[in-house]
Structure 1
Amino acid sequence: MEGIGKTTIATTIYNKIGNNFEGRRFLAQIGENWEQDAGQPFSWHAFKQQSSREDLTELSRNVIAYYGGLPLALEVLGFYLFDKEVTEWKCVLEKLKKIHNDEVQEKLKINFDGLNDDTKREIFLDIACFFIGMDRNDVTHILKMPRSLITFDEKNKLKMHDLLRDMGREIIHAKSSKEPEERSKLWFHEDVLDVLLNESGTKVVEGFTLMLPRTTNTKCLSTLTFKKMKKLRDFKNLSKDLRWLCWDGFPLKFIPVEFY
């Protein structure tokens, strides 16, 4: 048992039975060690110091309790709450009270909902679906995103935590779980091939990425299917507005006129 503190044990127990209790009851389990365990890292992100602001100490304890000590969620929320007023903290806490303890993605989604305009939300979803692993210089417009949601590795490649990526993709998938042509973004090659081969693309589709496994048989795709995708951003007015196009092994010598 060496190295396992009472807060770790209490957190584990809480995650097992927490559905039946108010989040505040877990505060008694945290006791005096909350600052050293989940509290201190959270404070660094939310307050840029080791301890919380005096007027937000109780709210901090409640937030940590409702997050059940989930490190990523506390880190992301800490970034989001930095420099926010008490009213915003209370608003976040009220949202947390309505979320089931096991629903990690819903807790992370609070930060997505907190992005202050639709453009930033769309950029986040673009990153989650398409741009992870790309070079920093190729995605300069993405740098406007809060650093709590994206990071860059030692090779300057864009990174996003798997839980955040999955949360973003679930937002898109939930809009049409059974009909891929009714989603704005497609990233599973099975869904993309289904839409392209059946020419079922609609004006809802804004972008997709197609990375075929080496074992996949060669498919013959018609460019006519793109005509139905009126919102396909990369191919709309191709000569002027193309933002990003990566097509490894492109077989043609020129872009077909049907693309635009």
Structure 2
Amino acid sequence: MKGMDEGESIELFSWHAFKQASPKENFTQLSRNVITYSGGLPLALEVLGCYLFDMKVAEWENVLEKLKRIPNHQVQKKLKISYDGLNDDTERDIFLDIACFFIGMDRNDVIHILNGCGLFAENGIRVLVERSLVTIDNKNKLRMHDLIRDMGREIVRANSLKVLEKRSRLWFHEDALDVLAKETGTEAIEGLALRLSINNATCLSTKAFKNMEKLRLLQLAGVRLDGDFKYLSKDLRWLCWHGFPLKYIPTNFYQRNLISIELQNSNVQLVWKEAQVLISFLIFLFID
């Protein structure tokens, strides 16, 4: 990744850190040091500038000490300083959920889903946008730079490098398929995405979800589930299933906490065979 020259770097960084074209008084040398230890990389300057905005000199010096310890080629670790500086676990969870599952989705739909998870998403997404960790395009879709996305996913992976089923989120199809095929899921898993070809559906057992009691987010494509749907998590808030193979949603599938069901390219002819009581405000998106 190519760095910028000093003048360009100072101006870009200053617009994010001070909301003006040059550093404020007493921050000139500190700004130059941040730029040096950021390698002049535009993305790092933008993210770190947003993070340092409105901080005091002592806080800047603390961030600089962290930057000094990270080699220039380890860009993700430099970006992670902004993630570590988020206000609480709620904002971190929102960031990780977006990085793993919601890039490209409508901002309002994601807010609705994550609010259903108790994450106060409107405020959380606003903070992430202010920190330049998330952007919103002109169609109200959530966007994220590839390096920031990869940084978020690496945070999840690093929490359990060797044991897939102990990760909080599974988005890589080989990892998700491995856990589901071997039925090794655990309550650590909060989100799972398995997107395969809908032209040749892969058959798996519903028992694969038996121990995923905290599963909130589930995205499937090209998957057929055989067995009793009672095994799916009662904590499920979002079900996105492209190529849903059944003609109706099974009555033994607990749906009272669901916020959004998206069944694109489905075979659904009847939503429910029997009446269901839904507590949450539910969005249905059926696209034949």
Which of the five TM-score ranges fits, normalised by the shorter chain?
0.7 to 0.9
Residues 227 and 259, structure 1, Cα contact 8 Å, conserved in 2: no
Q: In structure 1, what is the equivalent of residue 178 of structure 2?
A: 194
Matches within 5 A, 1:113-128: 113-128=84-99
Shift in Å at residue 172 of structure 1?
0.8
Distance between the aligned counterparts of 2:29 and 2:45, measured in 1?
15
Distance between the aligned counterparts of 2:251 and 2:44, measured in 1?
46
Shift in Å at residue 179 of structure 1?
2.5
Q: 1:247 is paired with a residue of what secondary structure?
A: strand
Q: In structure 2, what is the equivalent of residue 182 of structure 1?
A: 166
Distance between the aligned counterparts of 1:258 and 1:224, measured in 2?
13
Q: 1:220 is paired with a residue of what secondary structure?
A: strand
Task: Count matched residues.
Answer: 226
| 60 and 126 in structure 1: CA distance in 2 versus 1, 3 angstrom threshold | same
In the alignment, does 2:199 pair up with 1:205?
Answer: no
Structural RMSD (CA): 2.0
Q: In structure 2, what is the equivalent of residue 220 of structure 1?
A: 203
1:34-62 CA distance string (max 9 Å, x none): 3x310011000000011101111110010
Q: In structure 2, what is the equivalent of residue 146 of structure 1?
A: 128
Shift in Å at residue 116 of structure 1?
1.2
Q: In structure 2, what is the equivalent of residue 3 of structure 1?
A: none
Residues 203 and 230, structure 1, Cα contact 8 Å, conserved in 2: yes
Matches within 5 A, 1:248-259: 248-252=242-246, 253-255=248-250, 257=252
Moved more, 83-92 or 171-180: 171-180
In the alignment, does 2:220 pair up with 1:237?
Answer: no
The gaps in structure 1 that reach 5 residues or longer are 1-7, 13-29
Residues 226 and 259, structure 1, Cα contact 8 Å, conserved in 2: no
Shift in Å at residue 254 of structure 1?
1.5
Moved more, 61-70 or 147-156: 147-156
Shift in Å at residue 236 of structure 1?
4.1
Distance between the aligned counterparts of 2:233 and 2:24, measured in 1?
50
Q: In structure 2, what is the equivalent of residue 16 of structure 1?
A: none
Q: In structure 2, what is the equivalent of residue 133 of structure 1?
A: 104
Q: 2:82 is paired with a residue of what secondary structure?
A: helix
Shift in Å at residue 214 of structure 1?
5.3
Q: 1:202 is paired with a residue of what secondary structure?
A: coil
Distance between the aligned counterparts of 2:41 and 2:174, measured in 1?
33
Moved more, 136-145 or 160-169: 136-145
Q: In structure 2, what is the equivalent of residue 75 of structure 1?
A: 46
1:148-196 CA distance string (max 9 Å, x none): 1111122221100000000000011112223221211001111111111
Distance between the aligned counterparts of 1:131 and 1:200, measured in 2?
25
Residues 67 and 101, structure 1, Cα contact 8 Å, conserved in 2: yes
Residues 112 and 121, structure 1, Cα contact 8 Å, conserved in 2: yes
Moved more, 38-47 or 192-201: 192-201
Distance between the aligned counterparts of 1:80 and 1:58, measured in 2?
18
Could you tell me the TM-score, scaled by structure 2's length? Answer: 0.73
1:175-230 CA distance string (max 9 Å, x none): 22232212110011111111111111011111111211457x43211112211112
The gaps in structure 2 that reach 5 residues or longer are 112-120, 218-231, 256-288
Shift in Å at residue 237 of structure 1?
3.0
Q: 1:146 is paired with a residue of what secondary structure?
A: helix
Structure in which a larger fraction of residues adopt strand: 2
Residues 17 and 49, structure 2, Cα contact 8 Å, conserved in 1: yes
Structure in which a larger fraction of residues adopt helix: 1
Distance between the aligned counterparts of 1:255 and 1:137, measured in 2?
28
AA in 1 matched with 2:127 = M
Runs of 4+ in structure 1 deviating by more than 6 angstroms, as ranges, are: none
